[in-house]
Amino acid sequence: MVSRSFKEAADLYNGKCGGCTKSYGEKGGNCAHHTSDAMYRAGFTDVLTKVVGGPITARCDGGRPIRAKELRDWVVGQGYTAHAARPAIGTAAFFFAYDAHKDKGHVGFIDKTGKCKDTGTGDLWGTERKYYW
């Protein structure tokens, strides 16, 4: 049984989706798509559960959420707290960043070594929050 944690999810992040083969046309891949796939494989299996009126409205053919803001809302719904500070080394976090100029969100992980695990598009992002207990 895998431990349901962002630490595990960050370790399993591989920039792919195990549920489909689509890329959703973004440079470096769709961040929410690959982040939610890693979460699913780390034990957050209910991220695939369709909930009427829930935060996830867009999914890939494999059921993974593909929108950054929606995935962030789902994580918040699990009870995680938003922090401005990075998690302590040895622990990990889910992060959400927002680019006000593009009105676009970005998600990924900060792993247990403090390294960013995401689609790595190199874009500049504005407000960033880290989610962990």
Minimum Å distance from CB 48 to Zn ion?
A: 10
Taking the C-alpha atoms of residue 37 and residue 125, their distance in angstroms, rounded to an integer, is: 22
Where does this chain touch Zn ion (CB under 5 A) — which range of 9-17, 50-58, 104-112, 115-123? Answer: 9-17
The pair phi, psi for residue 78, each rounded to 5°, is: -85, -5
The pair phi, psi for residue 129, each rounded to 5°, is: -130, 145
Minimum Å distance from CB 76 to Zn ion?
A: 22
Instruction: Verify binding: residue 64, Zn ion, rule CB under 5 A.
Output: yes
Give residue 105's identity as a one-letter amino acid code. G
| Site size toward Zn ion, by CB under 5 A | 6
Taking the C-alpha atoms of residue 56 and residue 102, their distance in angstroms, rounded to an integer, is: 21
Measured distance between the N- and C-terminal CA atoms of the chain, rounded to whole angstroms: 21
Minimum Å distance from CB 133 to Zn ion?
A: 27
Tell which positions 84-123 bind Zn ion, by CB under 5 A: none
Q: Which is nearer to Zn ion, 15 or 62 (CB)?
A: 62
Q: Which is nearer to Zn ion, 20 or 82 (CB)?
A: 20
Taking the C-alpha atoms of residue 4 and residue 62, their distance in angstroms, rounded to an integer, is: 20
Contacting residues toward Zn ion, per CB under 5 A: 17, 19-20, 60, 62, 64
